Amino acid sequence: MVQPGGGMPDMQQILQQAQQMQEQLASAQEELAATEVSGSSGGGLVTAVVTGGMELKDVTIDPSVVDPADTETLSDLVVAAVRDAMASAQQLSEEKFGPLTSGLGGGGGLGGLGLPGGM
């Protein structure tokens, strides 16, 4: 992209923008990793807690769902609760990084930096 007046973009300004964006991304990653979200299944009989960084932190199982003769149902409930929590973490990640990556041209490119060929 050519600057008004016909000159090329100021490289110092582009580098400064890139550094600011890198700092914002690092800060968002730290915040996301520290944030916990939960998911549940069986009407709350099984809950799972994961971080925004997709780390499983806790699984809680209501004793009423524990049936030694039917461990398959319990297993299914645990898997469903973990998947629910992971989906919540993924959504949180998209919400957190969406505004930051839109500055990269929306699709992860460099269009927002004003580089030649950017959108």
Report pTM.
Answer: 0.66
For residue 75, being part of any structural domain is answered with yes
For residue 108, being part of any structural domain is answered with no
Mean pLDDT over all residues of the chain?
A: 82
First to last CA, the chain: 8
Q: Is the pLDDT of residue 119 over 60?
A: no
DSSP 9-43: P-HHHHHHHHHHHHHHHHHHHHHHHH-EEEEEEGG
Q: Which domain holds residue 57?
A: 35-89
Tokens of 67: 């049936």
Cα dist from 110 to 7, 41, 97, whole Å: 19, 41, 15
For residue 119, being part of any structural domain is answered with no
For residue 14, being part of any structural domain is answered with no
For residue 29, being part of any structural domain is answered with no
- The per-residue pLDDT for range 76-100, each reduced to its tens digit, is 999 999 999 999 999 988 888 777 6
- Domain count along the chain: 1
For residue 101, being part of any structural domain is answered with no
For residue 9, being part of any structural domain is answered with no
CATH number at residue 69: 3.30.1310.10
